[in-house]
Amino acid sequence: MGIQPLSRLTGVVPLPRSFTSRYGAPVISHIDTDIFRRTYYTYCLACDFCDDQCCEYGVDVDRYHYDRIMRHADALESYTGVSRERWFTKGVEVDPEVPGGESRRTLVVGGRCVFIDREGRGCMLHSFCVDEGLDFRELKSMVDCLFPLTFYDGTVCVADEVDDGSLICLGSGPTVYRGGREDLEYYFGGEFMAVLDEMEERAL
């Protein structure tokens, strides 16, 4: 199966084959071409208007990344000033589409994720990794790193906040695809990106 010709490259499009992430899940077989058209302010470190709005609901953390967070629990407690008992909600959701087959959600405190830097801005998991010389994708979940890209039922697509227009930084900057391209390549590899780059060209 090849990529659809230009005249049909809209909506949800099948890939020539399925691609599996470096963790064994998710497995991606389709792309929603909205990722090549919707835009947002990608430059989070330079942003001075959003007040980290995208962190107001917390984030799902898959089992793979939960385990790695807990391996650094002692250091993270010291770094964040928050005890590990206050990091996650009690429930565990079974989800075969995420690494490790299940996920937990970070707690929300004062209208923001528990890992938000309340004296500055941004994610303390991210800044901890930078300070420790770790790749931030080793502790931050796929859902977190890809946002406002996401995946659902084998399809890479825009997150709900893009679809419903509630993301505060929509409408300026690069496309959702370009903003998340580096992370997609990390998770799925170069062949996957070559296919998506071709799809992007045809979609536009």
Give helix then strand counts, H and E, for the chain. 7, 11
Give dist(CA 90, CA 36) in Å, integer.
37
- Locate tokens 């893009």: which residue? 162
pLDDT at 68 over 90: yes
Of 2, 37, 32, 39, whose CA–CA distance to 204 is shortest?
37
CA angle, corner 8, sides to 6 and 13, nearest 5? 105
Choose the weakest-confidence range: 14-23, 35-44, 125-134, 186-195. 35-44
pLDDT tens-digit readout, 173-189: 899 999 999 999 999 99
pLDDT tens-digit readout, 14-34: 999 999 999 999 999 999 999
DSSP for residue 153: T
Give the distance from CA 76 to its chain's centroid.
21
Which residues, at least 6 apart from 152, have a Cβ–Cβ distance to it below 8 Å? 97
The pLDDT value recorded for residue 1 is: 46
The pLDDT value recorded for residue 51 is: 62
Mean pLDDT across 107-136: 94
pLDDT at 10 over 80: no
- pTM comes to 0.90
pLDDT band at 41 (very low <50, low <70, confident <90, very high): confident
Position with higher pLDDT, 47 vs 60: 60
